[in-house]
Amino acid sequence: MFSDELSSLATDVLDRCRDLGLYLTTAESCTGGLIAGCLTEIAGSSDAFGYGFVTYSNVAKMDLLNVPADMLDVNGAVSEQVARAMAEGALERAGADIAISVTGIAGPGGGSAEKPAGLVHMACARSGHPTLHERCLFADRSRGKVRELTVLSALKLALRQLGVSALA
């Protein structure tokens, strides 16, 4: 179902979580659960992964992840601040050790000059470590490709948070 590259990255994330004794969760908006789906495609993933929050609406981000309403009002859902808050909220709500979050505009419409289609903010929170953030612009791509590239980038960000620095 997922590409070999995505499956390999998901396996690496899960293996690293197992090695470190960490429990992983996801908080997804524009990917609608694809990161969780990619992780759970791997047999035995339940020993390192248990929660996947799909928070497509602002109400869901507030209710499930405790993202402050004023943060959404001031920065918009597609922002560094909200991506960080989603990851940190998922970490707390799931009782997890590490959380990956993504929020973006998959397109093809819905963008603006300030926040074009293909803009994605992702974050990775880990207990006892600073939350990492990455801004990606997957311009001129189909909706499916933006979502696929987002999953790829989010898994790479998780590996960086897990201390795997060999990835480009």
Which residues have C-beta within 8 Å of that of residue 82, sequence separation ≥ 6? 61, 67, 71, 72, 75, 76, 103, 121
- Read off the pLDDT of residues 119-167 as tens digits, 9 standing for 90 and up: 999 999 999 999 999 999 998 899 999 999 999 999 999 999 999 864 4
CATH code linked to domain 4-132+149-161: 3.90.950.20
The pTM (predicted TM-score) of the whole model is: 0.96
d(CA 72, CA 103): 12
- Read off the pLDDT of residues 80-116 as tens digits, 9 standing for 90 and up: 999 999 999 999 999 999 999 999 999 988 888 899 9
Residue with tokens 């590490």: 98
- Read off the pLDDT of residues 8-65 as tens digits, 9 standing for 90 and up: 999 999 999 999 999 999 999 999 999 999 999 999 999 999 999 999 999 999 999 9
- Say if CB 98 and CB 39 are below 8 A apart: no
Alpha-carbon distances of 40 from 25, 45, 56, 91, 134, rounded to whole Å: 11, 6, 20, 18, 24
